[in-house]
Amino acid sequence: MDYAQYLAKGWCIGSGAIESAHRTLIQERMKLSGQRTTTY
């Protein structure tokens, strides 16, 4: 990876943003009442 190029473009290269998105989007969605997973 060319970290300098990605940083110059303003892209996130750390895992903090991904972990935050997981916590806010996925975990909260799965904790809503009536939510369930389906396997095919």
Tokens of 33: 């009442």
Taking only the tens place, the pLDDT of each residue in 13-27 is 777 777 777 777 777
pTM over 0.75: no
Which class for 24: exposed (0-12), middle (13-18), buried (19 or more C-beta within 10 A)? exposed
* Residue 39 confidence (pLDDT): 65
Question: Are 35 and 29 a contacting pair, CB within 8 Å?
Answer: yes
For the chain, the structural domain boundaries read: 1-30
Please name the amino acid found at residue 18: I
